[in-house]
């Protein structure tokens, strides 16, 4: 029987289910397969991003699912906001593991969030009203726009009635949701938590604003992305010009180790440490000193040394400023170990899913620990100023014990999560997965 508390006498927390969708697949196994194979999911799509309405047409899209496709979830037919459809699908996938298991739904919390919520529904309804020449606007605009509606729909359709929160923290939202889940479990407000984030914010007012503020990738005609759109997002590369906006969702089921043992479900990984802090510096720019504090804080919270971290899953947006700042922060926190530490960003493959990114990245870190495979940073062309090991282009076999996944959001908000590989001998259930 494993110990139910850690060395700091805190409840041990484990991940027992995951689900995700992104530009590389509609389910997590599909997406993982693409990530591990070094595939790129970014495309140039003038149907979704028509010129004349959008300043560029590069993006990462979940294909063939949800509003604006033929395959849509009937349960959400009135809420044509894609983040709800993507989020509910990922939540349902993550909860599969609990099928047939008995648990108290009042002790199952939902922490599901997004950076932007149902802006696509809002935009469509606004355009319809304008075309009618009316001020009256569709009755589902408000319910579908709300960020916490994702948790609401998950609760309604999956029957989870515990506490609900929607911590919206820009591009760090998913990680903040995971941390909020951990706090709820440690505060004994729940036995398990469905946590994560979903995003689909392809509306002109957001896409074009990211583009105008030069956060989004922009290309000259001779750029390699023109011939091959899958090369548009290129974290840590010399020719990176900005991030590529994407949609997707990532959901995890986190439980106390005690609850996981009761449920007799396979344990995917343990969340052993985390940190979250605020820059107090700038509305959009990252701030290296506070990012260092956050990374170092998570390592200390995990009660390990930086040398024990064997994989760093990067925020790695492919913007000039993020990738340089993050590299410098990693060097400061990990010292000499930084040069031996495998670092990769999946944003080269799936783009930046904004609020959902850190949830999908946490799932990636967990899967890396389980499979002994570190997924690559694709589209990589070295930048002499950034001289760490970014696991370029091809996946690498490696069996680290600890993986750290970090995310930084506009508004100066950071999180870092440390996961530990769950050892066979600790549980007799792992092999059954």
Partner 1 sequence: MKKWTHEDVIDSIRNSGKVKPNTLVTTSSRFEQDLGIDSLDLVGILLDIQDDFGFEWTDREISEINCVQDIIDILNKRSQTNAA
Catalytic residues: 171, 315, 352
Between 75 and 340, CB nearer to partner 1: 75
| Closer by beta carbon to partner 1, 67 or else 250 | 67
Angle between helices 173-186 and 357-371 (to 10 degrees): 70
Shortest Cβ distance from residue 135 to partner 1 (Å)? 10
Give 374's strand partners: 396
Cβ at position 134, least distance to partner 1 in Å: 8
Q: Sign of the CA dihedral 319, 320, 322, 324?
A: positive
Binding range to partner 1, per CB under 8 A, among 137-145, 152-160, 191-199, 233-241: 137-145
Q: Does 75 bind partner 1 (CB under 8 A)?
A: no
74 binds partner 1 (CB under 8 A): no
- Out of 33, 132, 186, 282, the residue judged to bind partner 1 by CB under 8 A: 132
Minimum Å gap between C-beta 133 and partner 1 is 9
Q: Choose one: 35-43, 50-58, 132-140, 317-325; the region binding partner 1 (CB under 8 A).
A: 132-140
Task: Please work out, in degrees rounded to the nearest 5, the angle formed at the alpha carbon of residue 367 by the alpha carbons of 349 and 431.
Answer: 150
140 counts as binding partner 1 under rule CB under 8 A? yes
Least Cβ distance, residue 274 to partner 1 (angstroms) = 39
Q: Are 67 and 85 in contact (CB under 8 A)?
A: yes
Which of residues 29 and 138 has its CB atom nearest to partner 1 in the complex?
138
Binding mask 27-66 for partner 1 (x = CB under 8 A): ----------------------------------------
Under the criterion CB under 8 A, does residue 134 sit at the interface with partner 1?
yes
For partner 1, the binding residues in 141-170 under the rule CB under 8 A are 143
Interface region with partner 1, contact rule CB under 8 A, candidates 115-123, 138-146, 214-222, 277-285: 138-146
Report the nearest approach of partner 1 to the CB of residue 110 (Å): 22
Q: Which of 3, 47, 100, 136 lies at the binding interface for partner 1 (CB under 8 A)?
A: 136
Kindly indicate which of the ranges 139-147, 210-218, 223-231, 274-282 contains the residues binding partner 1, using the contact rule CB under 8 A: 139-147
190 contacts 109 by C-beta, under 8 angstroms: yes
Q: How far is the CB of 143 from partner 1 (least distance, A)?
A: 8
- The reply on whether position 78 binds partner 1 by CB under 8 A is yes
State the Cα–Cα distance between residues 344 and 325, nearest whole angstrom.
Answer: 15
Contact predicate 347/42, CB 8 Å: no
Which of 2, 29, 138, 320 forms a contact with partner 1 (CB under 8 A)?
138
Decide: residue 6, CB within 10 A, 0-12 exposed, 13-18 middle, 19+ buried: middle
Binding segment (CB under 8 A) for partner 1, from list 134-142, 177-185, 377-385, 404-412: 134-142
Tell me if 70 contacts partner 1 by CB under 8 A.
no
Which residues bind to partner 1, rule: CB under 8 A? Answer: 78, 132, 134, 136, 138-140, 143
């Amino acid at each position: 029987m494993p110990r139910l508390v850690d060395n700091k006498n805190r409840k041990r927390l484990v991940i027992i289910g995951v689900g995700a969708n992104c530009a590389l697949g509609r389910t997590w196994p599909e997406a993982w397969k693409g990530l591990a194979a070094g595939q790129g999911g970014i495309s140039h799509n003038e149907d979704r991003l028509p010129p004349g309405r959008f300043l560029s047409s590069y993006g990462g899209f979940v294909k063939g699912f949800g509003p604006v496709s033929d395959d849509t979830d009937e349960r959400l037919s009135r809420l044509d906001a894609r983040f709800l459809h993507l989020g509910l699908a990922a939540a349902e996938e993550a909860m599969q593991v609990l099928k047939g298991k008995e648990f108290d739904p009042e002790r199952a919390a939902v922490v599901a969030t997004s950076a932007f919520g149902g802006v696509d529904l809002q935009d469509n309804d606004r355009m319809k009203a304008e075309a009618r020449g009316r001020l009256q606007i569709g009755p589902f605009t408000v319910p579908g726009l709300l960020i916490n509606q994702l948790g609401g729909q998950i609760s309604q359709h999956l029957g989870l009635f515990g506490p609900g929160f929607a911590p919206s923290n820009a591009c760090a939202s998913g990680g903040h949701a995971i941390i909020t889940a951990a706090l709820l479990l440690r505060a004994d407000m729940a036995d398990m938590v469905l946590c994560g984030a979903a995003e689909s914010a392809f509306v002109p007012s957001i896409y074009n604003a990211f583009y105008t503020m030069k956060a989004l990738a922009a290309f000259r005609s001779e750029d390699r992305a023109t011939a091959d759109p899958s090369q548009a997002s290129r974290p840590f590369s010399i020719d990176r010009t900005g991030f590529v906006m994407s949609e997707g969702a990532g959901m995890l089921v986190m439980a106390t180790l005690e609850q996981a043992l009761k449920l007799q479900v396979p344990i995917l990984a343990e969340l052993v440490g985390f940190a979250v802090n605020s820059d107090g510096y700038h509305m959009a720019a990252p701030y290296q000193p506070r990012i260092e504090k956050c990374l170092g804080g998570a390592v200390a919270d995990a009660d390990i040394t930086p040398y024990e971290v064997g994989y760093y899953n990067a925020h790695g947006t492919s913007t000039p400023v993020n990738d340089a700042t993050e590299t410098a922060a990693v060097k400061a926190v990990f010292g000499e170990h930084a040069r031996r530490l495998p670092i990769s960003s999946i944003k080269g493959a799936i783009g930046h899913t904004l609020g959902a990114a850190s949830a999908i990245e946490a799932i990636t870190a967990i899967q890396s620990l389980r499979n002994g495979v570190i997924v690559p940073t694709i589209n990589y062309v070295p930048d002499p100023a950034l001289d760490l090991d970014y696991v370029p282009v091809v996946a690498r076999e490696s069996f680290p014990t600890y993986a750290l996944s970090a995310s930084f959001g506009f508004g100066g908000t950071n999180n870092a999560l440390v996961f530990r590989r769950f050892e066979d001998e600790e549980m007799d259930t792992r092999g059954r997965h």
